[in-house]
Amino acid sequence: MTNEIPYKIYLNESEMPKQWYNLRADMVNKPAPLLNPGTHKPMTAEELAPVFCEELVKQELDDTTPYFDIPQEILDFYKMFRPSPLVRAYCLEKKLDTPAKIYYKFEGNNTSGSHKLNSAIAQAYYAKKQGLKGVTTETGAGQWGTALSMACSYFDLDCKVYMVKVSYEQKPFRREVMRTYGATVTPSPSTTTEIGKKILAEHPGTTGSLGCAISEAVEVATTTEGYRYVLGSVLNQVLLHQSVIGLETKAALDKYGITPDIIIGCAGGGSNLGGLIAPFMGEKIKNGANYRIIAVEPASCPSFTRGKYAYDFCDTGMVCPLAKMYTLGSGFIPAPNHAGGLRYHGMSSTLSQLYDDGLMEAVSVPQTEVFEAAEQFARVEGILPAPESSHAIKVAIDEALKCKETGEEKTIVFGLTGTGYFDLVAYEKFHDGKMDDYIPTDEELAASIAKLPVVE
Amino acid sequence: MTNEIPYKIYLNESEMPKQWYNLRADMVNKPAPLLNPGTHKPMTAEELAPVFCEELVKQELDDTTPYFDIPQEILDFYKMFRPSPLVRAYCLEKKLDTPAKIYYKFEGNNTSGSHKLNSAIAQAYYAKKQGLKGVTTETGAGQWGTALSMACSYFDLDCKVYMVKVSYEQKPFRREVMRTYGATVTPSPSTTTEIGKKILAEHPGTTGSLGCAISEAVEVATTTEGYRYVLGSVLNQVLLHQSVIGLETKAALDKYGITPDIIIGCAGGGSNLGGLIAPFMGEKIKNGANYRIIAVEPASCPSFTRGKYAYDFCDTGMVCPLAKMYTLGSGFIPAPNHAGGLRYHGMSSTLSQLYDDGLMEAVSVPQTEVFEAAEQFARVEGILPAPESSHAIKVAIDEALKCKETGEEKTIVFGLTGTGYFDLVAYEKFHDGKMDDYIPTDEELAASIAKLPVVE
């Protein structure tokens, strides 16, 4: 096989992006602002300062500056695992016998196992720069917690992670990686916070949720001297940092004169998708570029496809600002058999606005089909993918098979956000035929959505 | 930080080696031949044919041809995970405050998690080419079994893995990765073979050993139509395939005009070390190049540093040919608290000869020190290393600290063979202070070595 396009397109270090791209600056309809949960007025920098680092507050609120310089210290850290390869999926194309050209941006080649490290190192850097002692956060499946513990270790910051209890128990290895990097990991809900105690009193047998762990982490950050809270997805600042994924992808494609037809990413809170599509969406808005952009979410947690676009609480304890987003209601918890991440009840405000504006599509897929796609991909492309990433694989394969029917040579790019090395319990369930697809009923969703706060 | 040398040196795909290098062709004292265990005469190609694939037998016996073309099918597969990066350990250097320049060749960026895939795909290819139905093998910690299952899946070959029982039970996730790639995994010793039944009858509570799993895998290969046995280390053919590591390393160094002073690799059976050092050792033999080459082995399984250079059985069941090697005796089993791989009782015949000729050094290190080095490395370089690879890290750090004392700016290159994502149980033990260092006594080793076969 001789090809002009290599299997893996690596940029040189000198070609790595030196700035993050702030898509909001180019959006016609800006994402709705965060609101103070008491006054329902837009949150000010002063109000956000007790929760978030100063520089990150600036980034969070800025919807006009198109580019932010990436500090040199962060660029140096990026060089340990970036640029990440843009891989031409020759073997998958051959297996599918499709005329489509498939590329994936692989963000899993680092110990955190995912793209989360891109924002973790940025947030840790700004915390350190502000002279803080440490940060708090929540983690579900553990990718974000792992990434943050690596970043904090690098900058010698303390790191307190509240890990959703069910994951804490089922994923001891992630916990152990975090310990290797010196983080403290507490199963949530816990008795270390007031909100944790309250939730435990109300729901004694609860296995926890992201919304609940967020509440605990925020409480600790706002009541401990020298600490702030950091978040791995959903927020504008996180999408800003993750734009490095899309910028590298675009640079690699441009280098070989490739224009994608379809761009696909999995979507939980939206950090990977928002980062991957940023420069492409920017072109679409500014120049009317003709990209089809598809968000893929689990059928068991379908915020885009079955949620409501409205203001909602970001956390179960209702201590965070309100965000306007596609949401299933802050009390929504995916069925226990839901294996991977992508379990947040809402979706990034930026992506929600773009979706509402008709600039992107969304589709939901059941998890057994996701694992079938994952196994098929692993066998030909060699990489064992994370369940989250496999949502994008599933739809990329579907689109490639459509091309096979029509004979179209479309170029498909998808985000392979991470590896599944810590998800083998889920793979085992799948192999043993013990995995099923729970899809919430209309009644369940309606009940959850009915509890949204009333915001004028 | 601006540097001429990038953090990661990647070759282009066009710069990847097209041939493997057969170091034996340049050795003055050739490695001793395999012997027939009955006649004690050198094994012929005909005698080896029932066990190994034809092409691999040729490679095993050939100590005169310096280069073998890498078939295009294998090159195509290599492109999915090669070239692997040669990383400049800037962050580790800074942390150690050493004038030494440290580089590591990172082979862990693939789902098998190690360098084993380099030989697995070659062996699977030749099995397929010969029209076989499948292959059998043994695996200890599971890296080799995982790699072989990936390779077999790619070529649609059946793969039967005998996994050392203690690993089978303690590393269910490795087993699950193998299942994802369609392999059958049996804990060894098992009742599926005559030799397994015999060993179980003699040692009912045994947790297994590599030597025992080899015996079972060979028995199945030689008694099943259309099957052959493949091995992940020790053999000449494996070192040949693994030379791709050293060739890439040398090409990357040459590209930037770098000459290493010290080259360090961990050594169990010797596949990674033999591959990494191949072109450097070739220069040393042919041109008197002045490289210090250091093999690092676990203090709990010290074949180089405390073994005897003699003919020994390769397996517990004594069904394999005899090999001349540094050995602790085929009955030797490392203490149960030994956490990682590197547990084979003998060492590659090629490396044994080179060591006996004084062309390389060897050192053994206790495992708690290895894990301390692993954690130190992980925190600054971001990669969570395999326990095996961490043996090389430990000695690289020691050498870099010596440079700090002397002020010498030595260039140190070591092999980072893989990641520790499936070794978190061992990391947990280390964090919990439950890891200790069992070093075999002189009496124990003498008793084991006393059982070596008598070969004139």
A181:B153 CB<8 A: no
Q: What's the pLDDT band for A1 if we cut at 50, 70, 90?
A: very low
Mean pLDDT of B262-270: 96
Q: Model confidence over A394-405: pLDDT tens digits?
A: 999 999 999 999
Shortest distance between the Cα of A183 and any Cα of chain B, in A, equals 11
Q: Which among A10, A176, A382 has CB closest to B111?
A: A382
Q: Which among B13, B79, B378 has CB closest to A111?
A: B378
Contact B292, B135 (CB under 8 A): no
SS3 call for A38: coil
- Put simply, the chain A residues between 426 and 455 with a CB less than 8 A from any chain B CB are 427-428, 431
How far apart CA A456 and CA B193 sit, in angstroms, is 74
How far apart CA A134 and CA A152 sit, in angstroms, is 8
How far apart CA A82 and CA A79 sit, in angstroms, is 5
- End-to-end distance of chain A based on CA atoms, in angstroms? 61
Query: How many CB atoms sit inside 10 A of residue B441's CB?
Result: 9
How far apart CA A128 and CA A157 sit, in angstroms, is 7
Q: What's the pLDDT band for B375 if we cut at 50, 70, 90?
A: very high
Dihedral over Cα of A279, A284, A288, A289: its sign: positive
- In order, the DSSP letters of B288-329 are ----EEEEEEETTS-HHHHSEEEEEESSTTS-SPEEEEEES-
Q: What are B160's two structure tokens? A: 């039967």
Query: How many CB atoms sit inside 10 A of residue A408's CB?
Result: 13
Q: Is the pLDDT of residue A372 over 80?
A: yes
Tell the residue number behind the tokens 């394969």, with chain if given. A397
How far apart CA A324 and CA B94 sit, in angstroms, is 45
How far apart CA A366 and CA A391 sit, in angstroms, is 9
Question: Crossing angle, helix A117-129 and helix A143-155, to 10 degrees?
Answer: 40
Q: What are B177's two structure tokens? A: 């990765």
Show residues of chain A in contact with B77, CB under 8 Å: 382
Q: Is the pLDDT of residue B269 over 70?
A: yes
Nearest to B145 by CA among B83, B246, B213: B213
Show residues of chain A in contact with B435, CB under 8 Å: none
How far apart CA A231 and CA A53 sit, in angstroms, is 11
Q: Which residue of B has its CA nearest to A426?
A: B176
Contact A233, A270 (CB under 8 A): yes
B153:A379 CB<8 A: yes
Contact B218, B315 (CB under 8 A): yes
B80:A91 CB<8 A: yes
Give the amino acid at B448: S
Instruction: Name which of A312-321, A395-404, B343-352 the model is least confident about.
Output: A312-321
How far apart CA A7 and CA A86 sit, in angstroms, is 8
Mean pLDDT of A27-31: 98
Q: Is A142 left (phi over 0), alpha (psi -120 to 50) or beta?
A: left
Report phi then psi at B417, rounded to 5. -70, -25
Query: How many CB atoms sit inside 10 A of residue A289's CB?
Result: 14
B1:A76 CB<8 A: yes
A180:B81 CB<8 A: no
Contact A63, A22 (CB under 8 A): yes
SS3 call for B127: helix
Contact B228, B52 (CB under 8 A): yes
A80:B179 CB<8 A: no
A181:B154 CB<8 A: no
Report phi then psi at B58, rounded to 5. -60, -45
Q: Is the pLDDT of residue A25 over 60?
A: yes
Q: What are A68's two structure tokens? A: 């932010």
Cα A27 from chain centre: 20
Tell the residue number behind the tokens 């062709």, with chain if given. B25
Radius of gyration of chain B measured on its C-alpha atoms: 20
Q: Is the pLDDT of residue A3 over 60?
A: no
Shortest distance between the Cα of A176 and any Cα of chain B, in A, equals 6
Which helix H or strand E contains A160, and what residues bound it?
strand A158-164
Cα B284 from chain centre: 22
How far apart CA A324 and CA A346 sit, in angstroms, is 9
Shortest distance between the Cα of B431 and any Cα of chain A, in A, equals 8
Query: What per-residue string of b and e applies to A437-449 under the rule 16 or more CB within 10 Å gives b?
Result: beebeeeebeebb
Q: What are B394's two structure tokens? A: 């430990």
Give the amino acid at B97: D
Write down the pLDDT at residue B2. Answer: 40
Mean pLDDT for chain A? 94
Q: Model confidence over A44-64: pLDDT tens digits?
A: 999 999 999 999 999 999 999
Q: Is the pLDDT of residue A337 over 80?
A: no
Q: What's the pLDDT band for A2 if we cut at 50, 70, 90?
A: very low
Q: Which residue of A has its CA nearest to B420?
A: A111
Q: Model confidence over B396-415: pLDDT tens digits?
A: 999 999 999 999 999 999 99
Q: What is the pTM of this model?
A: 0.94
How far apart CA B13 and CA B10 sit, in angstroms, is 9
Q: Is the pLDDT of residue A331 over 80?
A: yes
Residue A454 CB contacts under 8 Å (≥ 6 apart), including other chains: none
Show residues of chain B in contact with A179, CB under 8 Å: 427-428, 431
Tell the residue number behind the tokens 């005559």, with chain if given. B194
Residue B384's alpha-carbon distances to A322, B379, B381, B455, in angstroms, are 38, 8, 8, 44
Which helix H or strand E contains A174, and what residues bound it?
helix A172-180
Q: Which among B72, B176, B379 has CB closest to A153?
A: B379
Does B375 lie at the interface with A, CB-CB under 8 angstroms? yes
Q: Which residue of A has its CA nearest to B183?
A: A379
Write down the pLDDT at residue B172. Answer: 84
How far apart CA B400 and CA B100 sit, in angstroms, is 6
Q: Model confidence over A60-92: pLDDT tens digits?
A: 999 999 999 999 999 999 999 999 999 999 999
DSSP strand E in A231-274: where?
A: 262-266
The DSSP bridge partners found for residue A365 are A298
Q: Is the pLDDT of residue B339 over 90?
A: no
Residue A315 CB contacts under 8 Å (≥ 6 apart), including other chains: A211, A212, A214, A215, A218, A330
Tell the residue number behind the tokens 């001349």, with chain if given. B324
Q: What's the pLDDT band for B335 if we cut at 50, 70, 90?
A: confident
Does B156 lie at the interface with A, CB-CB under 8 angstroms? no
Q: Model confidence over B107-149: pLDDT tens digits?
A: 998 999 999 999 999 999 999 999 999 999 999 888 999 999 9
Q: Which among A77, A179, A419 has CB closest to B431?
A: A179
Contact A285, A29 (CB under 8 A): no
Q: What's the pLDDT band for B1 if we cut at 50, 70, 90?
A: very low
Write down the pLDDT at residue A402. Answer: 98
Write down the pLDDT at residue B182. Answer: 94
Report phi then psi at B304, rounded to 5. -65, -50
Residue B16's alpha-carbon distances to A252, A450, B67, B421, in angstroms, are 20, 60, 15, 28
Tell the residue number behind the tokens 């693994």, with chain if given. B242
Q: What are A177's two structure tokens? A: 């990686």
Shortest distance between the Cα of A70 and any Cα of chain B, in A, equals 14
How far apart CA B308 and CA B303 sit, in angstroms, is 7
Mean pLDDT of A433-454: 93
B8:A13 CB<8 A: yes
Does B419 lie at the interface with A, CB-CB under 8 angstroms? yes
Q: Model confidence over A202-246: pLDDT tens digits?
A: 999 888 888 889 999 999 999 999 999 999 999 999 999 999 999
Does A227 lie at the interface with B, CB-CB under 8 angstroms? no
Contact B147, B178 (CB under 8 A): no
Triad B229, B235, B239: Cα angle to 5°: 120
Write down the pLDDT at residue A227. Answer: 97
% of chain A beyond a pLDDT of 90:
86
Show residues of chain A in contact with B176, CB under 8 Å: 424, 427-428, 431
How far apart CA B456 and CA B454 sit, in angstroms, is 7
SS3 call for A108: coil
Show residues of chain B in contact with A180, CB under 8 Å: 375, 378-379, 384, 427, 431
